[in-house]
Structure 1
Amino acid sequence: MAKHIIFGAALAAALMLGGAQGALAQRKGGDVVIGISQAPPSLDAQITSAQASRNVTLHIFETLYARDENAKPVPELAEGVTVSPDGKTYVFPIRKDVTFHNGKKLDAADVVASLERYRKVGASPALVAAIDTIKASGEHEVTVTLKQAQSTFLDNLSSPRAPIAIYPASEAAKEAGKIEIIGTGPYKFVEYKPDSHVKLTRYDGYAPNPKGTGRDGFAGKKEAFLDTVTFRFMPEGGARTAALEAGQIQFNETVDGPTAKRLGTDNRFTIHKMVPFGLQVIKFNQAQAPANDVNFRLAVQAALDMEEIMAISYADIYQMDPSWLYPGSAFHSTVGSDKYNKHDLKLAKELLAKSSYKGGKVTFITDNLRPNVDTATLVQQKLKEIGVEVDISVADWPTVSKIGFTPTGWTFWTHGFGIEPYEGPGSVMAPWVNGLSQQAKDPEIDRIAAAFNAEMDEGKRKALYDAFQKHMYDAAVAMKAGNYGIFQASTSKLKNFKPYRIPRMWGVWLEP
């Protein structure tokens, strides 16, 4: 696997300074404004898998189980779990020290109502597909019975992708997108002004997990020192950087490589780096022609120069890698690498000739993030060489994500795929189960995913994951360009920050 990372000495020094902040004295108070590139399509955490939503909602809501720093499931609102010998019954004692932001005590009824709601409206229905029944077996105890044993059930329950957030029962009874934003997390909701910002304030009634020993992924001991956290929607990277330099924001969600190198030489700022942070993915809409034809999809897959896409879209920090999982994962695989990054225009034209595509424009949708627009533009240019005419449609993230989960109005869609490979193979498969992302059911994916979830033997699960990845390439279900990383920038007054899947604002504080 080739790696391409630009990382200068000055920037490295800045990062080392940033990593030494934990020894400083904690301080309560202060307001942090975070510049984020996209507005969240919803703050109803259960119904969206958008990164922009997670950035906000995982400060407000919590789950029964959460992922630790190494992405392993650990108790959060549950005290633990007892699993029956047949692997089908899970009994969760619920913590008794937790209150919602409206003052209501958390109990089993809230948990049952929240899990039942997710079964109806959750954005990742595959996470709860194995559940048969959910019941309150005590005031602070919930029993979940599965249809069959599932090796990934706690993984699913702790997923932050479209989290199975716990709401008050009164809110869990409401339709998707109609809830009041009431959670149990360290920060509570204040206001959401469309086209401007979301504001949160510290929840002084928050009960940190007594088993937590410090910040630990999405779990652990969450301590809120800041008075308020505001997520300001700023799609233009240059505007975010200018705002950081002017002191109008204290944290920039993402900066490009040259900006990171420049700011890294200024002691007013700290640069944070995380690689890989996501996969650059190009989806096909298989509900309509021409992408419902496997030869068309294979032709596109054969034509594209994935390294060119990554080098231009993420010039400063990327990795070429065929796996749909991150390096270091026990399930990381090179299966399908013979079809990855082919850039074979002759083969592409042969496959296209076998397809039903006989000319005409196809639509590529993308949000306005520069790497995604660059990816769409490069695909457009390359496909023109094999005779496919592509129109690019650019809109904000909420608009594009709404279109992308419908079966009409698009042929290609590109965006980051970050949380799924972090979670593991079950989560990488889940978006394709029942045709959720490709808009058409794929019986082979459904079969493999069901077998994977039911299989308890690790070796057999690895073989099933390899079969999934092979099918992704053999049928060109979707395409992966490569792994990308991110640079983030903050005021040097923000202490003890550590980059993760979201910009966690617990365990951090501001120096005056």
Structure 2
Amino acid sequence: MHRRTLLAGAGAALLAAPAIAQPARARTLRMVPQTSLTALDPVWTTASVTSAHGYAVFDTLYSVDSNLRPQPQMAEGHDVSADGRVWQIRLRDGLKFHDGEAVRAADCVASLVRWSKRDSFGQTLARFVDAWEAADDRTIRIRLNRPFAPLLDAIAKPASVVAFIMPERLAKTDANTAITEMVGSGPFRFLKDEFVAGSRVAYARFEGYVPRQEPANFMAGGKRAFFDRIEWQIIPDPATAAGALRNNEVDWWELAHPDLIPLFARDSGVKVTQVDDLGFISILRFNALVPPFNNPKLRAAVLAAVDQADYMRAVNGENVRWHNCAAMFPCGIPFVKELGAGVMNQPRDLARARAAIRAAGYGGERVVVMNPADFPSIAPLGEVTADLLKQLGMNVDLQQMDWGTLGQRRTSKAGVDAGGWNIFHTWTNSVSITNPALNYYVRGQGQAGWFGWYENAEVERLTDAWSQAATDAEKQVIFDAIQRQAFETAPIIPLGQYYPATAHRSNIVDRIPATNPLPWNIRRA
């Protein structure tokens, strides 16, 4: 789906009154999320829309501030033994779940254990853990087999597969099975009776939530809820979403479509701002389990043929800032060098690229590219890739679907003739992949890792070494070594870094700049 196709008929749509209009309610925040919420369990999936849902319903022991430093959240504090091998975390008093039950250390232990089986940083931490224990109802004890300095960084990590705390009875669910009952201790309750997949999600303020006393600071601090209700209205068509915002039928459009941003410049009732400072990274993900991209030489040959500008222009047009980033981590953060520049920033030579594809052993196998037609910031990526692969002489099968279907299908490890896949595209917020343990795109965890199941024992060894590194110089060497491994074997192709916009009614104030639409602190003036 090209941007021009996506916006066909936009003028007529803007004049029409969408069928999603609701009576104005001053204490209800009406938001259009980035896409439909299909998976509810924020520990089971990396989908950003599910993480946003998670931040409304659940809370964490520690959270990061605007400098990405861990701060106590549900915890009141911690202590560490002299040898660094025993951590004890003390819970704040008065914490309750939405079902009225008190939050206990046993709930936190079960939640951390389940999270550590799903998250890449959690899996790294788990290799150092001898035991997760509840010393008493308010004390979590973590006994390590050797010191692990970034323990708080792991359990405070933001954005994707967050270490959210759930009741023990839910957290004991198998890590590979998605939880559907939503009981957290966060500032809002999920209203299951109002949930209509693909249409509507609703939350009510949790009266039993006691925020921290300090001001909100990114993911940390006092999570004060100023709205009684939050309603998500799923509007896949960007023109309809823009019309709803301009007509005051919704308050907030999480990701404003680039081509429609100029409309808001002439509307004093709408304010447009950059989502956050670190931006997003678009990626192409290969399935490393099934042919033909179980061949790392073929993946690397495709990577060498990519021009990031093609992808960034297709998604962002002229109204969103973007830049090339020839790195496997976000550009502009500590330790990240553009080590792929020598491969990715060369003038494109399709003849040479076709020769590299043949030399890598490609034999005409069908290449299934899954593409979410209902996701405007991802759908153009699949179109660009399909066009490129055809130019490279590959047998491309571009399959359009909705994001919910893609999210389910990407879990399949079957071959393409049995319903499997070869490529899909996505994006991540930069804050979620800022170090080797966090970056699940390039972790080499194989069958235990992220969809695509890239395996690289050397990357895993280097990640463990990073967690033990004592100096910045040691960390730099490890960052560079991991990037070199990733560019040689290409588990993903980075497609560029960009800084999308969010749009809301002008009377919506105090939004915390973050890549997830945080439901606290924001209010109506």
User: Conserved in 2, the CA contact under 8 Å of 1:127 and 1:430?
Assistant: no
**2:218 aligned partner:** 217
**2:475 aligned partner:** 461
Using a 3 Å threshold, how does the CA distance of structure 1 residues 294 and 431 change in structure 2: closer, same or farther?
closer
**2:283 aligned partner:** 281
Using a 3 Å threshold, how does the CA distance of structure 1 residues 120 and 273 change in structure 2: closer, same or farther?
closer
Task: Tell me how far 1:510 sits from its aligned partner.
Answer: 1.7
Is 1:330 equivalent to 2:331 in the alignment? Answer: no
Task: Tell me how far 1:431 sits from its aligned partner.
Answer: 5.9
**1:82 aligned partner:** 79
One-letter code of the match for 2:477? A
**1:259 aligned partner:** 260
Q: What are the Cα deviations for residues 187-218 of structure 1, in whole angstroms up to 9, with x where unaligned?
A: 111132212121101112111123xx212111
**2:167 aligned partner:** 168
Q: What are the Cα deviations for residues 441-487 of structure 1, in whole angstroms up to 9, with x where unaligned?
A: 22222222122123233321221011111111122221101102111
Q: What are the Cα deviations for residues 116-136 of structure 1, in whole angstroms up to 9, with x where unaligned?
A: 333456687525423221111
Cα distance in 2 for residues equivalent to 1:132 and 1:167: 22
Cα distance in 2 for residues equivalent to 1:122 and 1:429: 8
Of 422-431 and 83-92, the range deviating more from structure 2: 422-431
Task: Tell me how far 1:148 sits from its aligned partner.
Answer: 2.6
User: Conserved in 2, the CA contact under 8 Å of 1:319 and 1:483?
Assistant: yes
Which structure 2 residues correspond to residues 359-438 of structure 1 after superposition, within 5 A?
359-368=364-373, 369-408=375-414, 409-419=420-430, 421=432, 423-429=434-440, 432-435=443-446, 436-437=449-450, 438=452
Using a 3 Å threshold, how does the CA distance of structure 1 residues 431 and 208 change in structure 2: closer, same or farther?
farther
Which structure 2 residues correspond to residues 141-220 of structure 1 after superposition, within 5 A?
141-160=139-158, 161-175=160-174, 176-191=177-192, 192-210=195-213, 213-220=214-221
SS at match of 2:131: strand
User: Conserved in 1, the CA contact under 8 Å of 2:76 and 2:90?
Assistant: yes
SS at match of 2:56: coil
User: Conserved in 2, the CA contact under 8 Å of 1:429 and 1:449?
Assistant: no
Which structure 2 residues correspond to residues 283-362 of structure 1 after superposition, within 5 A?
283-315=285-317, 316=319, 317-342=321-346, 343-362=348-367
SS at match of 2:66: coil
One-letter code of the match for 1:116? V
User: Conserved in 1, the CA contact under 8 Å of 2:61 and 2:72?
Assistant: yes
Task: Tell me how far 1:172 sits from its aligned partner.
Answer: 2.1
Unaligned runs of 5+ in 2: 1-24, 415-419
Task: Tell me how far 1:434 sits from its aligned partner.
Answer: 1.0
Q: TM-score, normalised by structure 1?
A: 0.89
User: Conserved in 2, the CA contact under 8 Å of 1:253 and 1:489?
Assistant: yes
**1:3 aligned partner:** none
Cα distance in 1 for residues equivalent to 2:207 and 2:66: 25
Task: Tell me how far 1:50 sits from its aligned partner.
Answer: 0.8
Residue identity over aligned pairs, in percent, reads 23
One-letter code of the match for 1:428? N
SS at match of 2:212: coil
Cα distance in 2 for residues equivalent to 1:256 and 1:452: 38
SS at match of 2:273: strand
Is 1:140 equivalent to 2:138 in the alignment? Answer: yes
Aligned length: 482
Cα distance in 1 for residues equivalent to 2:40 and 2:101: 20
From 43, 47, 50, the equivalent of 1:46 is 43
Using a 3 Å threshold, how does the CA distance of structure 1 residues 87 and 396 change in structure 2: closer, same or farther?
farther
Q: What are the Cα deviations for residues 229-267 of structure 1, in whole angstroms up to 9, with x where unaligned?
A: 012222221121121122221100111234222202211
Of 167-176 and 188-197, the range deviating more from structure 2: 167-176
One-letter code of the match for 2:215? G
Cα distance in 2 for residues equivalent to 1:53 and 1:474: 32
Task: Tell me how far 1:499 sits from its aligned partner.
Answer: 2.6
Is 1:234 equivalent to 2:231 in the alignment? Answer: no
Task: Tell me how far 1:142 sits from its aligned partner.
Answer: 0.9
Is 1:499 equivalent to 2:497 in the alignment? Answer: no
SS at match of 1:43: coil
Using a 3 Å threshold, how does the CA distance of structure 1 residues 71 and 136 change in structure 2: closer, same or farther?
same
**1:34 aligned partner:** 31
**2:58 aligned partner:** 61
Using a 3 Å threshold, how does the CA distance of structure 1 residues 164 and 495 change in structure 2: closer, same or farther?
same
Cα distance in 2 for residues equivalent to 1:55 and 1:376: 24
SS at match of 1:312: helix
Task: Tell me how far 1:278 sits from its aligned partner.
Answer: 1.1
Using a 3 Å threshold, how does the CA distance of structure 1 residues 163 and 321 change in structure 2: closer, same or farther?
same
Of 398-407 and 198-207, the range deviating more from structure 2: 398-407
Using a 3 Å threshold, how does the CA distance of structure 1 residues 431 and 387 change in structure 2: closer, same or farther?
closer
Cα distance in 2 for residues equivalent to 1:89 and 1:344: 56
Q: TM-score, normalised by structure 2?
A: 0.87
SS at match of 1:220: coil
User: Conserved in 2, the CA contact under 8 Å of 1:263 and 1:271?
Assistant: yes
Q: What are the Cα deviations for residues 156-204 of structure 1, in whole angstroms up to 9, with x where unaligned?
A: 1112311111112232233433452111111111132212121101112
Of 290-299 and 112-121, the range deviating more from structure 2: 112-121
User: Conserved in 2, the CA contact under 8 Å of 1:329 and 1:424?
Assistant: no
Of 423-432 and 105-114, the range deviating more from structure 2: 423-432
Cα distance in 2 for residues equivalent to 1:381 and 1:474: 24
SS at match of 1:198: strand
From 429, 449, 456, the equivalent of 1:442 is 456
Cα distance in 2 for residues equivalent to 1:276 and 1:75: 23
SS at match of 1:162: coil
User: Conserved in 1, the CA contact under 8 Å of 2:255 and 2:501?
Assistant: yes
**1:20 aligned partner:** none
Cα distance in 1 for residues equivalent to 2:472 and 2:140: 29
**2:22 aligned partner:** none
Task: Tell me how far 1:66 sits from its aligned partner.
Answer: 1.0
Of 147-156 and 103-112, the range deviating more from structure 2: 147-156
Cα distance in 2 for residues equivalent to 1:430 and 1:286: 12
User: Conserved in 1, the CA contact under 8 Å of 2:444 and 2:460?
Assistant: yes
Cα distance in 1 for residues equivalent to 2:297 and 2:332: 33
SS at match of 1:456: coil
SS at match of 1:63: coil
One-letter code of the match for 1:392? L
